[in-house]
Amino acid sequence: MAEETARSALDSFEIVTTSGILLWSKKYAPVNPSIVNSFISDVLIEERVQPGTDGKYYKKDSYTLKWVAANDFGLIFIAVYQSLLQLTWIDELLDTVKKLFTSLYGEQLKRPHTSTIECHFDNYFDSRIAELERRSGGPARFTAPPVSAEQTPELEKWDAPLPPPIPGILRAKAGSPAPPTSHLSPAIPDVLRPKSPSGLLTATKRPSRGARGRRGVSSAHASSGEESPARNSNNTKKSGKKLRIWDADGNADEDDGAVLDYSARGASTDDEVDRSRSKATYIDQKEWGSTTSRGEFVLKDLDMEVNAILRQASEKEASSANTGYSAFGFLRNIVGGKTLTKADLETAMAAMTEHLSRKNVAREAALTLTSSVEASLIGQKTASFQSIEATVKTAVEAALRKILTPTNSLDLLREIQTKRAGPHGARPYVISIVGVNGVGKSTNLSKICFFLLQNKFRVLIAACDTFRSGAVEQLRVHARNLKELSQREGGVVELYEKGYGKDAANIAKDAVAYGQAEGFDVVLIDTAGRRHNDTRLMSSLEKFAKMAEPDKILMVGEALVGTDSVAQARNFNGAFGGGRGLDGFIISKCDTVGDMVGTLISMVFATGIPVVFLGTGQNYQDLRTLNIAWAVKLLMS
Amino acid sequence: MEDPAPLLDSPPSHSFMTSLFNPSLPVLVAAVFVIFLTPLFLHLFVFNSRAATNLPTFLLVGPAGGGKTSLMTAFESESETGKPPPDTRTSQTPLSLECSIPASLAGTSKYRSGNDPSMKAFKRFLLLDTPGHGKLRHLALTQVASPVIRGVVFVLDSSLTDVRGTAEYLYEILLALQRSASVAGTGPPKRLLIACNKSDVFTALPASKIQKLLEEEITKMRVSRAKGILDVEDDGEGDTEKEWLGEGGEGLFEFKGMEEVGVEVEVKGGSVERKEWKDRLGAWVGGCL
């Protein structure tokens, strides 16, 4: 019971491969797999950073997720817990579990064509989490009372002055061996310690029972409650029982595996202890000398093994960092198979950032991009005969491709058709175009209009730029031209205008109502250009989005703009109020920049919104969709 | 004639060259070491990571959440390990697993007698799972055309909540298959199995209904694609016949019509939960081998 509440500090812990297989998991409370799935697709694939999280954690429903990746093994370690809890030790847990798991099962993971691995990770994990919980003193506290409650008769007798409620913390802080280990130990050792080394042995073991119960390996804690009275009455039998319990969650045999080898010896019955007393003493002394805190005997074994593995892992890390400069390392760089470290990547990454900046990618976007690529490369091995530079280049290419690839379909015609296929007299498909002054909103609007007219749609153009003089006249000219061009094709175009000075949002709303009444298929709304950092002008967009309810809001951005592109995209995306953002970008004037198409990356990177069209010339037909391979090729050239 | 004399007189370089060309033991040993260790070095350190498998490969594609990875692990665990398959999460990287079917299912066993001992053997093949997320589909699309691929399995959720999205991806796959079939010219047809997974769910549609919905959607998509805007690299001239899925002109698109362009399409329903794919997918795979 109490153990369950302690467990719920963490809801679940999962170790997932990048190929989507759940290798190992520990569930303390049912967590819907969709939580982890949406985390993977949002954070790891789409690389969206939730506002305010700084990319360190991810919130979904009432859960918070923290994760750490092991790139060299293609593993992700994910901890899921309730957002209400403030768990400080999650990072450390993730880190140590990563080290443990990779050093224990790394060999198995490297084998080709394998999905599952043989792992009995539960004990390691439990010992880790128990130690961290204890050290932080947080959740472990909830578990302590039941154990102490069982002990109270003893306690009242022996150490009345000791405050019973928070033994967990007390014990954690007590560094010295037997006497202060816990409130329990003084109860028995006083009787036993003088007698013999075996007494010492049992004494050191006893607290471990308490700890065990508290930790509550689920099968064990149920029985621990029943056993504790027996323990109090008879010391010798207790040690025997301890053995059995340890067995129950490990192996069924008395002869445990190598992992439990100390515990098996330590937990032998008193008969055995008599027989092998000298041996037991010897071992005990060795232990005694080697470690200072003898709090828990049984779990200490596992902990010792765990610690040894962790130490080894960090040693290996340190040594690999040093050998990077050896002659063999240099050879590795040419031949391939070199494990990449941060130092190796530094120069290549700096060169890549420089290269991207030269392609007109905003510095902020270039830096974030390269650092995320760097994070994904650290720990990986270079392929045969591939230099670091080539590896970095392919990784950046893949990252650019991933950024530019839209998550869902951009087939505008199909969307309009689906919408118009509904009942007769339905609302027309509304597209509104926003952007900074002079980027080509009206021009691109008329290009889209031309494209729609060629597909025999009935299009209404709404002139909602009621601000700049000449804006309505400009659209009138476009409408007249398009009417002439499309007469043969069978499209119908009309201009909806209400002059200057009126509220744009109201005009847009009226235009949509008019379009619906007259049976238009598409309403294209032109808006006034506005500076993205002018809050007064931007604030009117929210009302506009509410009134006109556009199906698509497209933002026009110039390919010429440099660093400002990130801020433009962000501010416009955030201007439409809660739950509504941009649906796509039109990057205009692409014919004027040559291969410096970095604006594409900056804008998409800042918002995660795809590029729908590119403007590539002055004529009505100079509208193109984005070809990702083309863009990546230009950016990497 | 004078020249060699000074050369002979320079003792260090000369003695070094002589000792190098002498049949002395250290040099010999060193040479032998280099000769024998070089291939070993190459093998152990450079080429060890590449697994030499020439097994026929089947590609698993489809939108995210359709059950590709679990279909694969279920198939593997049933045929190989016998352990329950692991749970799965959204994939980010491709993964291939080695699976097998009884040889009696293979297409080439048609003419063998039932008592033929080779019928007791197993046919091995690889299942290659690809991520279904929109941003990672290029991983699958580049694989489809590869000659190693014997067949493609398009896994989808039978509830078909997003017909358009599913049809979109299927369209891409079909187009890639058609392209590679036309490049390969005559040869065995490309095979595609549309596996309607999760048929045990309450909202699941029958396979025939799914086929009809997808065909209708692709019909519309074909038209709108043909009318759509060109992409930037296209200059709009020369390449007048845009890629048109299937043979013939307008009208209803049918999977059957794809046979004329060298792509065989089959639609099957089933469920990983009910362990139905072992037989159904197995039979189809056998037909492809």
Mean pLDDT by 10 residues, chain B (289 residues): 48 71 82 90 68 76 89 80 79 86 74 74 86 88 84 91 89 88 79 90 91 91 81 56 67 84 88 83 84
Q: Are A519 and A425 in contact (CB under 8 A)?
A: yes
> How high is the pLDDT of residue B257?
84
> How high is the pLDDT of residue A295?
46
SS (H, E, C) A548-583: HCCCEEEEEEECCCCCHHHHHHHHHHCCCCCCCCCC
- Say which residue the tokens 């039998």 belong to: A237
> How high is the pLDDT of residue A435?
92
> How many whole angstroms separate alpha carbon A219 and alpha carbon A213?
10
> How high is the pLDDT of residue B157?
92
Task: Please choose, from the candidates B59, B81, B52, B38, the residue with its C-alpha nearest in 3D space to the C-alpha of residue B176.
Answer: B59
Q: For residue A487, count other CB atoms closer than 10 A to its CB.
A: 12
pTM of the model: 0.73
- Say which residue the tokens 């952007």 belong to: A435
SS (H, E, C) A126-165: HHHHHHHHHHHCCCHHHHHHHHHHHHHHHHHHHCCCCCCC
pLDDT band at A264 (very low <50, low <70, confident <90, very high): very low
Question: Would the CB atoms of B49 and A337 count as touching at under 8 Å?
Answer: yes
pLDDT above 60 for A68: yes
Distance from CA of A522 to the nearest CA of B (A): 16
Task: Please choose, from the candidates B66, B68, B79, the residue with its C-alpha nearest in 3D space to the C-alpha of residue B282.
Answer: B79
| Helices (H), ranges, B103-262 | 138-144, 163-184, 207-227
> How high is the pLDDT of residue A144?
37
Give the model confidence (pLDDT) of A151-195 as tens digits.
444 444 444 444 444 444 444 444 444 444 344 444 444 434 444
A256-260, A412-416, A488-492, A553-557, range with greatest mean pLDDT: A553-557
pLDDT band at A3 (very low <50, low <70, confident <90, very high): very low
For residue B230, list chain A residues with Cβ-Cβ distance below 8 A. Answer: 624-625
Does B135 contact chain A (CB < 8 Å)? yes
**Enclosing H/E stretch for B197:** strand B190-197
Of the partner residues B69, B131, B232, the one whose CB lies closest to the CB of residue A614 = B232
The percentage of chain A sitting over the pLDDT mark of 70, rounded to a whole number, equals: 69
pLDDT above 60 for A341: yes
Give the model confidence (pLDDT) of A70-125 as tens digits.
888 888 999 998 888 888 888 888 888 888 888 888 877 877 777 777 777 888 88
Does B134 contact chain A (CB < 8 Å)? yes
Does B217 contact chain A (CB < 8 Å)? no
* Global ipTM: 0.77
Q: For residue A443, count other CB atoms closer than 10 A to its CB.
A: 20
Interior/surface letters A219-247, b for 16+ CB within 10 angstroms, e for the rest: ebbeebeebbeebbeebeebbebbbebbb
A-chain residue closest to B230, CA distance: A624
From chain B residues 174-213, the ones with a CB under 8 A of any chain A CB are: none
Give the model confidence (pLDDT) of B142-192 as tens digits.
888 888 888 899 999 998 888 888 998 999 899 888 888 888 777 788 889
For residue B169, list chain A residues with Cβ-Cβ distance below 8 A. Answer: none
A-chain residue closest to B228, CA distance: A413
- DSSP letters of A574-632? TTT-TT----EEEEE-GGGSTT--HHHHHHHHHH-PPEEEEE-SSSTT-EEB--HHHHH
pLDDT above 90 for A327: no
Question: Would the CB atoms of A335 and B230 count as touching at under 8 Å?
Answer: no
Per-chain mean pLDDT for chain A: 74
For residue A635, list chain B residues with Cβ-Cβ distance below 8 A. Answer: none
Q: Which of A14, A21, A381 to mutate to test the interface with B (most CBs of B within 10 A)?
A: A21
Q: Which of A22, A26, A32, A41 to mutate to test the interface with B (most CBs of B within 10 A)?
A: A41
A311/A354: higher pLDDT: A354
Please state whether B106 falls in left (phi above 0), alpha (psi between -120 and 50) or beta.
Answer: beta
Task: Please choose, from the candidates A178, A181, A182, the residue with its C-alpha nearest in 3D space to the C-alpha of residue A197.
Answer: A178
From chain B residues 233-272, the ones with a CB under 8 A of any chain A CB are: 233-234, 236
For residue B50, list chain A residues with Cβ-Cβ distance below 8 A. Answer: 384
> How high is the pLDDT of residue B220?
86
B114/A487: higher pLDDT: A487
Give the model confidence (pLDDT) of A539-583 as tens digits.
889 999 998 889 999 999 999 888 889 999 989 998 888 778 899
Question: Would the CB atoms of B221 and A411 count as touching at under 8 Å?
Answer: yes
Q: Which of A46, A78, A115 to mutate to test the interface with B (most CBs of B within 10 A)?
A: A115
Distance from CA of B95 to the nearest CA of A (A): 6
Interior/surface letters A326-358, b for 16+ CB within 10 angstroms, e for the rest: eeeeeebbebbbbbbeeebbeebbeebbebbbe
Residue A401 tokens, joined: 């491709």
Average pLDDT over residues A43-61: 81
For residue B93, list chain A residues with Cβ-Cβ distance below 8 A. Answer: 18-19, 74
The percentage of chain A sitting over the pLDDT mark of 90, rounded to a whole number, equals: 18
At residue A284, the 3 state secondary structure works out as helix
> How many whole angstroms separate alpha carbon A301 and alpha carbon A296?
9
pLDDT band at A515 (very low <50, low <70, confident <90, very high): very high
